Each structure stands twice: as C-alpha cells, then as structure tokens.
Structure 1
C-alpha cells in the first residue's frame, strides 16, 4: 500500500470515528421579503441564507455519508410570523421517487423530508414536521427515544400543528418549501434564540434514512444529538389566538325509528405566552370519530379502547406522564347503578352508552428553565337511565353517573438535556355521595452524560373516598444499559392491595410484586443478509403479595430483523415453566384458580410495502400442560396498492382456544368454571382513494364473530384447582359485531375541513351458538342494523387575520 493510500485510509477512519463527535450549526437569515410557499425558491432572500448539507445515514448503515447523486441542501429564513425552510433533494433517477398520496399523518409509500425543531435546545422534545414527495403533511411531538423515522408503527402522530408546505417534482429530484408559524412551536422569550435543529430525508425505495446532524444509533436517545440553529433574534410574535367553530348534522335510522340532530360548537386555542397554550373545547362533537373494535370479552377485566377524540390525543405528551390518565374515562360508559335498584324486581329499560362531555380545557407548556406544566380539566353531565318495575311496568329515572369533574396536573422538570423528574396528580370529584378519588405520582428518569445508562422509577399513591377511605401505592425501579450492540434491563415493581387508579386511569391488577430482566443484541450496520437485526432474551417472575403464590412467569427468546430486500421477520419462543395462579378470574376477592405450564411460539412475516402487493402473515400456537388444551391463531393480511392514489388492505384473523377453562358464574357457596371451546373470526377491509393530497375517500369495514361453547363444568376448590360439577343453567355465548364507515374528507384550508360520513353498524349477542356465518349475518342485520349519515364543517380562524376583516 502506498503512503498516499495509507494517509487517505487514516483520514477516512478518522472521519468515521468523529462523524458523530460535533454538532452542526446552521444560521438562519432574517427577511423582510414576502415568501410565497410554492416550492420554487424564487425570492432573492433565499440566496443569502447559509446552506445545510452533507447528510449522513441514520439507518440502515449508520454513519455513512449520503451519495453525491442524492445530495440534499436546506436553507432557513425567518420573519416575525414564521420560519421558512427550503429543501432540495437531488435524485439520480427522479422517476423512482415514491409518492403515494395518503391522508395527513399517514406515511404510505413515499419519500419524505422533515425538520426537527426544539425551541429550548434541551434535548427533550422535538416538534417534527414532515412532507412526503406527494405533498402530504405529517407532524408530531417527539418525546420518546429513537423518534427519527416517521414510518415507525409505534410513533404518535396525534398532535397536529398548523403550517404550510409545497412540493415540486423536478428533473433533478424534488423540492420542499415550508412555512412554520411560531404558533406551531414553543420557545423562550429570549431576544437571541438558540434552537435544537435537525433535518431528515427518507429515500423510500432503498429504505434509507438520513439526517443533517449525524445521529449515533449506538445511543438510544436521539433528540439530544440534534444540531443547532442560530441567528433568530428580536422576534416579535403575533397574538396566538385561534378559533375553530364547527357545525354538524346527523341523520340516524334504526328499528326504533329515525332522528335528525344538529350540533354546533367551538375549539379555542390561545397562546398565553410563547411557551404556554390554552386549549378549550365548548360543546364537543365526537360523532365522526373512529368506531371501537368491540370484542366478546370473557376476561375479568374491562376492554380497553384506543382514544380517537382529537382533543384528548393532540398535544397530550405531558398528560401521559406516569400512565395515570386513561382519557376514555372522561365521557365513557356510566359506572354506577341507579340508587335503590332492585335487580330482582327491576330492570334497566334504557341506559345511555356514554356520558356527555360538557366542556374541557387544558393548559400546557414549558418554561425556559425546562419546567413543563400541564393542567387538564373536564366536566361531564349528570346522566340518567330508565328503570322499569318488572311486575307493575312502572318506570322511573335513576342516576347512573353524577355530575363529575376530572382534573390532571403535571409538573415535569427537565435537566442535563436527557433527564427529568415529574410530579403527576389526578383527581376525580363527583356530585353528592358518590366516590371520589385522588392519585399522585412522583417519577424520575435519569441518564448518564454519555446516554449509556438509565435509571428510572416511580412512586404512586392512590386514595379512594367512598363509604370509607382506602389508600394504596405502587413503586418501581428500572436500571438499563441504553447504548451499544449489547444492552440489558433489570426492573422491579410492587403494588399494594388497595392501589386503585381506575377513576381516571386504568390498571387491571394490584397486590403483587414483580422482577423482570432482559438482555438484547443488535447490529448497528447492515450485513450480507440483514439491514437491521436484533435478538432479545427476557424473563419475569410475578408473585401475589398476600399468599406469596406465583401469579405469572415466563422466559422468552425473540429474533427480528429487516432483510436486504426490506422484508421483516420475527420469531418468538416463550415458556411459562412454572405453575401459577390467577387471582382475578374467580371474580371474588381472596380466591384464585390454577394456571398450567405452557409453551408459545409465534412467527411474523411482513413483506416490503414498496411492492405493489405486500403480505403480512402471523401464525401462533400455545400448548398447555393440560390434556387437550391449546390455543392457536392465524393472521393474514394482503395489501394491494393499485397506484399512488388507491390502496386496498384486507385482514383475516382466526383464533381458536381448545378446552379453555374460565369463570362462568357463582352462587353464595360456589364459584363455577366451564371447559369451553372458543372461536373468533375477524374480517377487516380498508380502502383509500386519494383524489389529491387534501381530499380522500376512505372505507373501513369490520365483521367480528366469536362464540364460547361450554361442554364441561367445574367447581373451584380452595386450593385453586377444579372438581367436576353438574350445571344446567350456564348458557353458551355467541357474539357478532358489524361496523362500516365510508367517509369523504376535504382539507380545503389549514385546519379547516369538510367531512361526510356514512356509517352503519350492528351488534347481536345471544346464548345459542349459530355456527354458520350466513345465519349469523342474517341475525345481525335483521335485528339491530343502525344507519347514520353525517356532515361536519370545521373552519380555522386566526385572530390576527380575522381582525383585518373589520
């Protein structure tokens, strides 16, 4: 090797070693010139703005410089209203740029450009704005680790900012121009601003992700690896006051008749200062939110639903600290029986499914010293059900949910760019003699300066005020190695018997302690076979406090990775090697039932979504150490992208439990179990027709059928085992649900939308099993089909623009 080659190699290695060493700096230029967001960069001010370039790959080949043929260049301007971003993405073959059109916040199969902005430069929270090559906007508040690529299924895009963008496809690649108003950001009042900044580019056909400021994938924390934006000075922001009035019309028809309903209300957003925002919702309307995937629930726990209401999903990162808020409690199903209800002589003739939300307000933001403050208040109305005497037919009204006030307070102090201490308090106050509740939590999340190790934990205390006061607590401690190829976690927690957060949160179990550990290995750069690869070994032991009996145990091994063809594979093997006991299935405090040992295997395959036809496939089997008892399932989902505007996805899920054993009832002396066969079939179909990047037609349909066929009966013994019994009154269960939504949505202006929805749904529950799908569908549609047609109009009004009208 020549000396020249030796020197060149040394320089290359030195560059590779130091690629992550220093943060990049970009200087924004002030402009008084009007910037038109058209993707053309024709304004003279753009020529004065410094250039950000030299992007580096984040995944899969971490640290590799971008190919010169795909060079990416970005500039930033600012005025008193907004920051402006101009990005040029070169491509050696523009015809291969992926540009599927989707709804907002849906990545699809498209190339992407993004900008990450942290107005406090504290490494804790990014405001991330993405635009696809088809012009679709995505945005999110990034607070979790690894929040770089937007096509991660686990990332939360519920927050929606109000900003503008334009994309152009050119003969050399594509361009993006963005206007991000200060109202969509949070930053201090300092005259001279220093922001955290990064730019992101995804080349979809190669599944390659690049950033301007290099991000070391050996370190789990990514937000504090951003670069720096300087140059923004003496900004005089406008009043941040926005009104979003809406009106809706609903026509509903079912076997009970038909009805028309009009609604009108308003959302208000007010910037208390540059850091804090007040959100209020007056006379809310959630009639067009997505339907819930209701199931036949044979477990002792309530079914938990996803939150689909925008007010409770947008900008709620602070309120989710400590997992003490389950927002579906607010305006959810009534939880009380009418006073003096006599189940022998009375029946509930008419009960509302949900409680009306009267109003809700939230205030959130963060000071320049890193203190985040969040306050949420909501009020639900007093709700009645109709109670009928079965003998006389006489009817009366009974309260099933009193007037209720819900409150959440969060104080979150960040420090050292990667650590925080948090205080959370939730409070539920009900009118009259009904139970009240208060829960407080103290959380900490500490990381070393190098982000190599993490120590986190919590202490939570609950108090229930009812006929008598009960107090409980929960505490946990987690130590984790968070960098490198080899990582590990050791975790422990303890919950007391009376720990109860279910008035405003959700927790299914208490009165146990647990220890958990895992060890993982991952590759950081591609191999000949895999772009990404990871293996995990996990183990857990969980014991009930009062008896000391084992409540849960497992050890599992999993391996997952994306191949060079960008197909995804995952294999899991899990053993529950010890006998354990279920303290919840019997439904009576102090009783428990035996759980046999088991082995589970699971395989997941997901082919490359870049292909016109892609397939998701997931078989699983679970064997119990009990004669004839096993579970198996099969999920199959093909997806066909006809073109960039049309996508169809079908999902089929089949689950079968053979000789499952579970609770079916009790009397004053005995608890009864049944051995049963359970079958569940779910068919789902979704379709999208994008007329353009602001107008889509969407179809979502779901048919769910499940039955439980009891064939042998038992009495639960005091030692948790079962002895045979004879029962004649326990009935089988047959459950069918149908949901169909066809919607049209047009975002005709920023945050302004016209939406039209046709919905029909049906539910059929009976105690005799119908084994043919045709017969089940006939019963479902003949008896309970409900049709809804609705039109909703929302319009965004900026106070600063509106006052010019007058």
Structure 2
C-alpha cells in the first residue's frame, strides 16, 4: 500500500507539472457589436465569449491555485479596430479592495489587473496594459531585462466596483500593438491580477519562478482572423506659453509644434517631432560634482523615452548627448573673455522608425539634427564682441537590427554615428551582440563585440568585447563573466562611458527560495567576486568580494544586507586628470543595510545606511538615507526623504601647480532633501509637488603632491583656496488633466536657484537663506497637447 501511494503521488505530481508547463489557449471572439467601454460588460457578444480562468499564484507562494472566493474570469473580443478585454475579479471582502488614485504609470497602493500581449508570440517582448481598481492606467514595453513605463500607448479602460469585487473593461487598439500581417494571428497572452492587501499576484498561464524567463511562459491567444486594421496616422499638435522672471527681468514665450505618429505597416511605426518643446520636462538634479567624470543625467524628454527599447540595445545610446552641452570651448586671446556660453544646443528635429517583421527581425532607425551654436567673446579693452562656433550643425544617427529566434534568443547589430559639419570631431561605433538561451531557459550565453572609430582633428580606434555564461533557473544559480576594453574605445559622442583600458573577470553564485517559509515570503543570498586590471600597467583598478542577502518578511517588510571587502591595493587612473598618471586607493571594508516597511500601510518608512572604513588612519565614509510617507487618503499623500553622506579625510584632486598634480585631504558632507506631495481629484486629474534642496561642501585641510608611483607626499607650499560650498533648490508644482485619450492640459509653476562659493558655510539656516536670497528664477507655463486620430478626422 505505501508503494502504491508513492506511485500515485508521483503520477499526480507529474500530471500537475505537465498542467502547469502547458500553455493555455484562449479563443478570441469576433464581434460586429459596438462595445462601449463603461465597466458594465452588458453587450450580447460578451455572453458567449470563451472564458480564461483558473489563475495560479505568481508570488509569493508560486504555483498555488487561486481560491474560489477570489475567482477571476477574463474574456476577449475583437473587431477591425481593437481587442476588447473584460474581467470579473471576485473578492470575498470587496470593501477592502485597495484603490489609491495616482498619476498615470504610478502603481500606488491599489489592486491591479493587466493583460500582456506579444504580437509575434516569440517570447521576447510584451505590450503590457494595467489598470488599477481606482481606474488609473499603466502601460509598458517589457523584455526580460526591462519594463519601460515611459512608453505610453493610447487605449481605453473603465473599472467599476461591485458587491462581489470589481470589473474591468479595456479597449486596446491595434495601433497600440505590433504584430504580423498573417491572416490568422497567434499572439502570446497572459493576464495578471494583484491583490494588494495580501501582497499576492496571480497569472492566468502559470509562470514558474524557478525559471528566469517570464515572457516565454505566456499562454496563447488564437481566433483573431482576417482583420482589416485602420490607417495608423496620429497628429499631436501642442501649444505652450511661458512666463519667466528673475532678478534681471522677465520674458514671455509662446511656442507651438506638431508631433506625428504614422503606422508604416501593422509592424512598423514612424515618429517625428517638429519644433520640439521640452520646457515642462522634469528638472535635472544639480550636484557638486568633484569626480573626474561628467554627471550622467536622466532623460526626461518624451520623444527619447517612449518606445526606445531597440535603441537601448548594447548600451551605445545616451540620448542626453542630443541637445546637450556644447562639445568645444572657444579660444580667447589676451584681453578677451567669454560673455555668453549656451548651456545646451537646440534640437531642430528628430525622427525614429521602429518595428519588427513577421520573421522576428527588429529594425530601429533614429535620426536627430541639432543647430549650429555660438559663444560670445568680448574684448575687455575695446568692448567689441565676436562669436565663435562651439557646436556645429550636427547629425546623430542610430541604426539597429535585432533578430529573434527560438522564442528566447537574439543576435543584434547596432551602429551609432555622429557627424559634425566642418572641421570638427566625428564618431562611429558598431556592435554585434548575442543572447542565447537553452530551450528550457535554464542556461544563458551572451556577449558582444564593439568597435569605435574617431575621426577629425585626432584619429583613433578602439574596441570592447565580453562573454558571459549563466545558469538562470532553480534555487541555485551562477554567472561567470569576462570582458576586455581597449585604451581608445570611445563611445562618448552618442553614448556614455567613463572607464576604459582594462580587462575584468566577474563571478556570482546565488540561492533563493521559491515559495514562502515560516519566516520569509522571499529570500535571496549571493556572493560575488570581481577584478578589474588596467591593461597598460597591470595594476588593479578594482578587486572586491561581496556577499548579499535580501528578504521580504511575512508582513511584507523588505530587508537587505551587503558586505564588501576590498582586500588589495588598487589604483585610480582617472582622478589625477592626466593621462598616464594614477593614484593609490587604500584597502577598505563596506557594510550596508536597508529596511523598507510594508508600503500597503498608510504610514510607510525606509532606512538605508552604509559605512566604509579605509586602511588609512582617520579615513572613513558614512551614508544615511531615510524617508517617510503618509497616505492620508486614496487621494492625498505626502512624503519626505533625506539622503546624507559624510566623508572624513577623503582624498581627491584639486588642481595643478605647474607640472605638479595637487591632491587634498578634505572633509565632505552632502545633504539632499526631497519633499513630494500628491492630490488626485480623479484618475485623470492630479496636483503634484516636488521640492528638492541640495547642499554640499568640501573643506580641504592638507595638500599633497602626486608622485609617479601613485602615492602622495605632503605639500606645505600650496595655498590656493580650493574649498567648495554648493547649494541648489528646485520646486515644481503642477496640475495635469488628461481630458481625452492622449490629450493633456498641464500647468506648471517652477522656481530654482544655484549658489556656489569657495567659502565653506556649515550653518544650515545660512545656506538656505543664501540660496533663497540669490537670483531665484520663477517660471509659469501652460501647455495643451491634443491627440488626433486621422480616422476620426476622416469620419
């Protein structure tokens, strides 16, 4: 009898695994009926549509069937215009359904329902459409490595709360998707339901978390046949009005422009921007940058953030290069000074084409042109002025070919090109990438070869190559990686890279739990080792060993711990600011801890702390970050965050003294305050407040001269004041109303100021007073953006 029981158990286990591993199939039903998106689902066509049900938990208890009192039923209809989705989401406690109102693409504390559609059923990319129980839309382009929520599609949805739970109705136009021209469509499909108060997520087709790949574990949507999609042409005119005032006067500006989206086919789309206006994009976080590298800035301009997944392949495209800071400095002679130097270059126009063929070939083309930019130079004796070109007319181009195969692998070619008019620097970078996975998505081999070529006043070539092998499934996983970067590898004309001329090896081993235990909902531990060796000298740039552990408790608090050991002598080849020189970096140990409380509670807080102790007397560093958030209601919330860093006896470059390179031992502090607020009137109308105050200083107390061996010797003769004190203030208070699909009215009040000095001021009140007493710039702007469907105009 025991043997028979064991055999039966094994058979049942095998059957259950087969059930979970099989792809579910849902048949879409064609309809000629007008489907009104009202959250009521009362059209006749819905009554006979096939049902997708029997959802299975994705997390935390992976593989557990959904309970009967939280049953979920989904149906799909289609016509020549769109795919329609209806969902009944049962709940045994409907009065506890979370429904915080937020901005679009902000999940907040809400229950959610989503549909993921893969137009080619190739396991590579999803179009995901979410809606919260409060009716807020979220959408993204998703690959295994990235969910891009900066992508915004035009689609319709409506939710309604009922006595049994809540109801979702969606209309997803074909214009929001990409798919083949086949008469019979076979689409990848999955649905997800999140029950926020229980921190549980369920999917229609089982997604096994022991396997690293999610998209390949989708179900299938069949039944969409012989559709005749409408012309995909969308016009988005806009107009903006600005009023700006500071101590020097005021200015009024009126702008107007037009964006165009055109569907070349069901698979390819052209986006063009004419007369660009980025005046209402989020402000850049100004900092006191004492590093040898430029500050890397986030991209906030919609054209360069939406649907750019193809262009991010290989990491060669840093869109802030387009319209960024001029690349050259003007030349001056005796009695001349620069009186006007533009901080950015104006964008003339930009266009991008992207899509994927039926055979899985993705093609991306992006081109942008920026205008010739001048600096003004004045003669201090005669008063005459002249202009000099600091950035010529420039063309930026990105071209990508990405071939997918086997539903989980790809080979890509990427080329970026920067061509400047006249006798200026040009650049071209090419890359071949591959990402190969076994059929069961258990092992992965990926790598690249990249080649850069610079021409102009100077000519040089460089290359980078890497190879990585990983086990990507199960409780125990590992990764081995190696790369080589040559001295002259340079992608900085249209990309961004800081460190070159080294080779590196990296290894990682990790363990994770798949299902909750008596202590944790989730748990992961890993150990990593890394070495970077400079090619020319053979010296270590980096050499560290690290252990990590992170977990989510049964009460949905998050914990993370990290310990890093830097046991070897290392050298920094960039801090001296002179090629061929380097400076010694002492051994050190770093400890890090983080705690996030359960964000579902009205009061949420987070704490993050780190400390680094150097093998150098009196030298250490501390980081303490903390934040609190209180949700007064589903409409109103406030939060405050403080990021604090202190470095004691830090050492860094401060200047040159004839042929000597001067370093200083200094104390540094950085305090960054964020205050945010949100009040949502409806799911389409919101007030938002973001305020940031940043203060940092560097106070030098001893100077050194850098020796040829990388070590420092005291320099008692250097007496220049190289101290720094920096204050920055930004405030954005905005009102946003999405009055129609894709159409928005936005009102923004912004003020900002910067104050920089070589006199250190440690009194907080004095620093704040100084920044508000400075030349504070105030801007009030109103922008109207209207989305026009060509088919509506035709009607």
Instruction: Judge same fold: TM > 0.5, yes or no.
Output: yes
Match 1:185 to one of 160, 165, 177: 177
Kindly report which structure 2 residues correspond to 1:242-641, keeping only aligned pairs within 5 A, or say none: 242-338=234-330, 340-342=331-333, 345-641=335-631
What's 2:744 paired with?
753
Q: What is the alpha-carbon distance in structure 1 between the residues aligned to residue 560 and residue 62 of structure 2? A: 22
1:88 is matched with 88
Offset of residue 17 of structure 1: 2.6
**CA contact under 8 A between 1:731 and 1:768: conserved in structure 2?**
no
For residues 602 and 425 of structure 1, do their structure 2 counterparts lie closer, same or farther at Cα, with a shift above 3 Å needed? same
> What is the CA-CA distance between 1:8 and the residue it aligns to?
8.1
Describe the SS at the equivalent of 1:777.
helix
> Which SS does the other structure have where 1:783 is aligned?
coil
* CA positional deviation for 1:256: 1.3
Alignment match of 1:743 (pick from 717, 734, 737)? 734
User: Per-residue CA shift, 1:299-335, capped at 9, x if unaligned?
Assistant: 0000001111110000000000000000000011112
Question: Deviations along 1:658-717, whole A, 9 cap, x unmatched?
Answer: 000000011332000000000011111011000000000000000000000000000000
Matching of residue 781 in structure 1 with residue 772 in structure 2: yes
8 Å CA contact 2:721, 2:758 repeated in 1 = no
CA distance in structure 2 between the partners assigned to 1:696 and 1:748 by the alignment: 12
For residues 619 and 599 of structure 1, what CA distance do their matches in structure 2 show? 14
Following superposition, the deviation at residue 600 of structure 1 comes to 0.3
Q: Which residue number corresponds to residue 151 of structure 1?
A: none
Cα shift at 1:653: 1.3
Q: Structure 1 residue 13: deviation in Å? A: 3.0
Distance 1:274 1:531 in 2: 43
Deviation for aligned residue 1:397: 1.5
Residue 70 of structure 2: aligned partner? 70
> CA shift at 1:779, angstroms?
1.8
- What corresponds to 1:233 in structure 2? 225
Whole-angstrom distance in 2 between the partners of 1:749 and 1:800: 16
Alignment check: 8 A CA contact 2:270 2:354 kept: yes
For normalisation by structure 1, the TM-score amounts to: 0.97
Deviation, 1:3, is 11
Q: Superposed, which structure 2 residues align to 1:763-778 within 5 Å?
A: 763-778=754-769
Structure-2 separation of matches of 1:606 and 1:616: 4
Secondary structure of 1:20's match? helix
Alignment partner, residue 799 of structure 1: 790
**Which position in structure 1 is the counterpart of 2:158?**
166
| Counterpart in the other structure of 1:150 | none
- Please state how far the C-alpha of 1:346 moved relative to its aligned partner: 2.7
Partners of 2:434 and 2:6 lie apart in 1 by: 49
Task: Name the SS for the 1:304 alignment partner.
Answer: coil
Q: Which residue in the other structure is 2:701 paired with?
A: 711
Q: Does 1:661 align with 2:677?
A: no
Aligned residue number for residue 140 of structure 1: 140
Q: State the distance in 2 between where 1:718 and 1:257 align.
A: 52
Q: Find the counterpart in structure 2 of residue 26 from structure 1.
A: 26
Residue matched to 2:55: 55
Q: Aligned to 1:734, which of 708, 722, 725?
A: 725
Q: Is the 8 A contact 2:240 2:783 kept in 1?
A: yes
When the two structures are aligned, how many residues end up with a matched partner?
794
Q: Which stretches in structure 2 are left out of the alignment for 5+ residues? A: none
Task: State yes or no: 1:131 paired with 2:131.
Answer: yes
- Aligned-residue CA RMSD in angstroms? 1.4
Cα drift, residue 728 of structure 1? 1.0
| Aligned residues of 2:56 and 2:203 also touching (Cα < 8 A) | yes
Q: Is the 8 A contact 1:16 1:63 kept in 2?
A: no
Question: Who is 2:17 aligned against?
Answer: 17
Q: Which moved more, 1:76-85 or 1:18-27?
A: 18-27
TM-score using structure 2 length? 0.98
Structure 1 pair 659/672, CA: closer, same or farther in 2 (3 Å)?
A: same
Q: Measure how far apart 1:778 and its partner are.
A: 2.0
How far has the Cα of 1:15 moved from its partner? 4.6
Q: Equivalences for 1:146-157 in 2 at 5 Å?
A: 155-157=147-149
1:685 aligns with 2:665: no
Conserved 8 A contact 1:485-1:522: yes
1:377 Cα deviation from its structure 2 partner: 0.2
TM-aligned CA distance change 1:541 to 1:6, over 3 Å: closer
Answering whether residue 640 of structure 2 is matched by residue 650 of structure 1, we say yes
CA distance in 2, matches of 1:745, 1:697: 7
Contact 1:19 1:63 in 2 (8 A): no
Aligned residue for 1:39?
39
1:400 shift after superposition = 1.6
User: Are the counterparts in 2 of residues 82 and 181 from structure 1 also a CA contact under 8 Å?
Assistant: yes
2: CA distance, partners of 1:669 / 1:271: 60
- Which whole-Å CA distance do the structure 2 matches of 1:57 and 1:779 have between them? 55
* Aligned partner of residue 13 in structure 2, secondary structure: helix
Q: Give the Cα separation in 2 of the matches to 1:136 and 1:15.
A: 39
Check whether the contact 1:664–1:730 (CA below 8 A) recurs between aligned residues.
Answer: no
What is the deviation of 1:111? 0.4
Rounded to whole Å, the distance in 1 between the matches of 2:772 and 2:300 is 26
